[in-house]
Amino acid sequence: MTRQTSRPRLPSQARREGREGTRPPEAGPGEVEIALTVNGTRRTVRVEPRVSLLDALRERLGVTGPKKGCDQGACGACTVLVEGRRVLGCLTLAITCEGRPVTTVEGLADGDRLHPVQEAFIANDAFQCGYCTPGQLMSAVALLEEGRAGDDAEIAEWMSGNICRCAAYPNIRAAVRQVRDARAEGEGGR
């Protein structure tokens, strides 16, 4: 079988590889230093292995865009991108994200220029209290990339991992449609 490693190994582990009889290292249960790349910036942080990506971002790195709704995978408020794919920060251990770029809502804007999906959320009044919004935005960005914004039913299904207590759903769908249509127009005009 070919060895196919999709992500970097712990440095000490890479060193030990291939040596007969050596076991892979065990990190923790106490704090260990890990490096995370968040919104393009590499940062080191000390965490116990049990710390979720969500808690590492919010409590240790001051990246408070991702929200904690349920902490059990049921609401989507903690949605972030890891290696470009939308995942849940609350069920991801921070230590598993070494070497895998993480994007949060803070990473969407380009300086003061909001991301088109953020603009569309404002234009369409796609939130009320705003608690679910960072997760909705990350899911909407991913959904447009995934090409799942064909019609309203498809948008609803592929946004269903993000619960909105304020039920801003129709306006969220309108925002997604607007970005989808703007992009289609942009491509047609080229």
Ligand X SMILES: Cc1cc2nc3c(=O)[nH]c(=O)nc-3n(C[C@H](O)[C@H](O)[C@H](O)COP(=O)(O)OP(=O)(O)OC[C@H]3O[C@@H](n4cnc5c(N)ncnc54)[C@H](O)[C@@H]3O)c2cc1C
Residues lying near ligand FES in the complex (CB under 6 A): 68-71, 73-78, 88, 90, 127-133, 164-166, 168
Interface residue with ligand X among 8, 25, 73, 170 (CB under 6 A) is 73
User: Least Å distance between CB 91 and ligand X?
Assistant: 7
98 bridge partner residues: none
Task: Restricting to residues 47-86, name those near another protein by CB under 8 A.
Answer: 48-50, 52, 71-73, 76, 79, 85-86
DSSP 79-111: EEEETTEEEEGGGSBGGGGTTS-EE-GGGTSBT
The amino acid at 150: G
86 binds, among ligand FES, ligand X, another protein, none (CB under 5 to 8 A by kind): another protein
Query: Is 186 one of the binding residues for ligand X (CB under 6 A)?
Result: no
Find out whether the peptide bond into 49 is cis, omega within 30 degrees of 0.
no
User: Least Å distance between CB 90 and ligand FES?
Assistant: 3
Query: Is 157 one of the binding residues for another protein (CB under 8 A)?
Result: yes
78-84 contact pairs (CB < 8 A, 24+): 78/54, 78/135, 79/134, 79/135, 79/136, 79/138, 79/139, 79/161, 79/162, 80/53, 80/54, 80/104, 80/138, 81/138, 81/141, 81/142, 82/53, 84/145
Site of interaction with another protein (CB under 8 A) = 1-7, 9-10, 13, 17, 23-30, 48-50, 52, 71-73, 76, 79, 85-88, 91-93, 95-96, 139, 142-143, 146, 148, 156-158, 160-163
Contact footprint for ligand X (CB under 6 A): 73-74
